[in-house]
Structure 1
Amino acid sequence: MHWVYLGIATVFEIVFALCANASKGFTRLWASILTLVIGAGGTFFLSLALVTVDVGVGYAIWTGLGSVGIVLLAATLFKERLDWRKMLGIAIVVVGVVGLELTGAGS
């Protein structure tokens, strides 16, 4: 169940970053409120996952997959450039996350 919680926390992390972008430096009320609520939700689900997953592994997976999701969505939604260097970085992060998961930490 801890991997489900970590997956939910990762989705919250991605939405959190997109909401933070939409808040324009916390100058837009509803986007700012949503940013805080979503951030709290992500932290809550991360804390549930960390009951059984090692904190270093759980946090690294959460931020790593969140970063990959944010880069890919930003390229899609905001037309940010996705060149070979970003794709290489994404591949390295994914390999690292898989490596961490294979350590069996918290299984």
Structure 2
Amino acid sequence: MAWIILFGAGLMEVGWAIGLKYTDGFTRLWPSVFTLVSAAVSLFLLSLAARDLPIGTAYAVWAGIGMVGAVAVGIFALGEPADALRLVSIALIGVGIVGLKVATPH
């Protein structure tokens, strides 16, 4: 269950990372509210997952999901570049996430 919660925390991290783009320096109300709520929920879920998972693993996987997700949204929804080096770098983060999952006994 901790891994499912951690995955949800990572998805919420993607939400607030992308939300930052639309806050205009936290001057726009609804994007700012969305971003702050997403960040709070993400951290709360991370704290729940960390009850059962090693904190180093939980934090690294949470950050990795956020990074991979934010880049994916950037590429597919925001028209950001998808050059080979960028894709390989994101793939390496993905491999690291899977490696931590496999290496963690929970």
TM-score normalised over the length of structure 1: 0.94
Structure 1: give runs of 5+ residues left out of the alignment.
none
User: How far apart, in 1, do the equivalents of 2:73 and 2:36 lie?
Assistant: 20
Structure 2: give runs of 5+ residues left out of the alignment.
none
- The CA deviation string for residues 3-44 of structure 1, in whole angstroms up to 9 with x for no partner, is 110011011000111111110111111111111111000001
Percent of residue pairs bearing the same amino acid type: 38
Match of 1:50 in 2: 50
User: How far apart, in 1, do the equivalents of 2:90 and 2:32 lie?
Assistant: 28
User: How far apart, in 2, do the equivalents of 1:15 and 1:8 lie?
Assistant: 11
Match of 2:89 in 1: 89
User: How far apart, in 2, do the equivalents of 1:49 and 1:11 lie?
Assistant: 14
Match of 2:99 in 1: 99
Q: Structure 2 counterpart of 1:15, which letter? A: G
TM-score normalised over the length of structure 2: 0.95
The aligned length equals: 106
